[in-house]
Structure 1
Amino acid sequence: MPKRALIERRPWLLGSMVLALAWIWLQGSETPGLYLLLLKAAPLLLLAVYAVLRHRGNDTRSLAGMLVLQAIGSALMDYMPLIALNALLVAYLIGLGMFLVHRRVEMDGGRKASALALTLGTPLLCYFAAERAGVGVPLFLGLALGGMAASAWISTFPRSRVGLGASLIVAGNVLGIAALGGASGGSGPAAALAAWPLFYLGNLVLATGVTGELRMREDFL
């Protein structure tokens, strides 16, 4: 039965990855903007569906909420940036709360140092990226993003997947902010091309890592 259930859920994960590749391929094309907006949101929305089907519980509902809000924020960034930034802010606050519930009681020095670097370094990177692009990004967004990544790093979830995924989400956001100004030349176009793939890959690695770990713990118990 568990094997059959996993097979039934895989199409959502596969569909998410296929649509992510489709958006990467079609961005910058002559495809109408509305279709691109929906296509940009769809991969994370399907990932949210996969998460709640893979494991049913408060943690995966929080994870799904984080993914849905990130989908909205990512899709609306070029059209309604204020709504998009607020959606991302709430998403990372949800993620922060979820990971703090699973924080480690004891941590080694390397894990503490990494968490501190993410907490303090992420808002600074967001600030410098925004300054370079000539746009304004709320400080709270950088703090929430850094807090989410740091809490993922010090959580009981595996660093090789969940911690790495959160770090990739940070990288994707920073590059996305750097590309907001639409600056020509320099690192602007490269940042725009790399931002969303890193953002999506981070969410993919994080979501599958969280749901896989929760399912393994449930099976063990």
Structure 2
Amino acid sequence: MARQALIEQRPWLLASIAAAVAYYFLRDNPVGEGTWGLLAKGASVGLLAVYSWVRVPSEWRGRDGILLVVALVLAAAGDVAIDLNFVIGGAFFASAHIVAVILYLTNRHPRPSPTQKMIGAGLLIGTPLVSFLLSGAAEVAIYGAFLGAMASAAWMSHYPRYRVGTGAVLFVISDWLIFSRMGPINLAPLPDLLIWPIYYAGQVMIATGIVQCLRGEQPVR
């Protein structure tokens, strides 16, 4: 019954999950390294953008729904571009983070707790620092500043912290695993196994958490 409801009511989310699973198992073979792999990878978050657009009716969508969709589209472009050119892919993701920061800052929690403030500050400062320590590259630390601002703003927003905030933290962790490949700390085989599922799970949590709030199904905090 639950699966049937998912197919009937949220087909774009189901299609996104199917694309993400397909990419995970295709990425290490010749098919996954070519056009089909890139299509599956881009479709994973791209279909989350479609899900977000369709799931929130136009009369409820407003600025926040549009910002969410734009951030997801930019991230999907980054997913594809980063396999072709690391710098261009990073630029797409940095742009996605800027859009997400605007979304979260315009939806700040009116009364954040001391713990929430502490975690938000830790993400803002710690994300670029850890990014630099893992990669040893100044340009990665600069990107890490955008990443940390996004995660910090998500945690400090009025969206559910243990859905949207945690999703943003998962995004940070997945990027840290990528950066670990560049520096002296060898975490193999964890990056190969975990980067994609952690990243995608984070994006799903962010998208579904915000969509449910915009639909009034999940109370803001």
TM-score (norm 1): 0.87
Would the aligned equivalents of 1:146 and 1:170 in 2 still touch at CA under 8 Å? yes
Inter-partner Cα distance in structure 1 for 2:49 and 2:139:
26
State the aligned residue count.
Answer: 210
Q: Does residue 38 of structure 1 match 2:42?
A: no
3-state SS of paired residue (1:78): helix
Contact 1:178 / 1:188 at 8 angstroms: preserved in 2? no
Aligned to 1:68: 73
Aligned counterpart, 2:124: 119
Alpha-carbon distance in 1 for matches of 2:44, 2:62: 22
1:199 and 2:199 are equivalent in the alignment? yes
Asked whether the equivalents of residues 182 and 188 of structure 1 are also in contact (C-alpha less than 8 Å), the reply is no
How far apart are the structure 2 equivalents of 1:117 and 1:147?
10
| Structure 2 match to 1:3 | none
More moved, 92-101 vs 32-41: 32-41
Partner of 2:3: none
Q: How far apart, CA to CA, are the structure 1 residues paired with 2:183 and 2:65? A: 36
| Aligned equivalent of 2:173 | 171
Please say if 1:23 is aligned against 2:23.
yes
> What percentage of residue pairs aligned between the two structures are identical?
35
1:108-158 Cα deviation digits (max 9, x unpaired): 110000000100011112112222xxx664433211111111111111111
**Which is worse superposed, 85-94 or 68-77?**
68-77
SS in 1 for 2:216: helix
Q: How far apart, in 2, do the equivalents of 1:25 and 1:7 lie?
A: 22
Q: Please, which of 133, 140, 143 is the counterpart of residue 141 of structure 1?
A: 143
Structure 1 runs not aligned, ≥5 long: 1-5
Residue by residue over 1:20-54, the C-alpha shift from the partner in whole angstroms, topping out at 9 and shown as x without a partner, is 01111111112151221111111100000001111
Read off the aligned partner of 1:96 and give its amino acid letter. Answer: V
1:69-127: CA deviations, max 9, x gaps?
A: 11111222131111101001000010001000000122111000000010001111211
Check the 8 A contact 1:176/1:196 in 2, yes or no.
no
Pair 1:100 & 2:101 matched: no
Would the alpha carbon gap of residues 101 and 188 (structure 1) be closer, same or farther in structure 2, given more than 3 Å must change? same
2:35 match: secondary structure:
helix
Query: What RMSD over aligned residues (CA atoms) do the two structures have, in Å?
Result: 2.4
Code of the aligned partner of 2:155: W
Unaligned runs of 5+ in 2: 1-5
CA change 1:8–1:57 in 2 (3 A) is: farther
Task: Name the CA distance, whole Å, in 1 between partners of 2:11 and 2:208.
Answer: 14
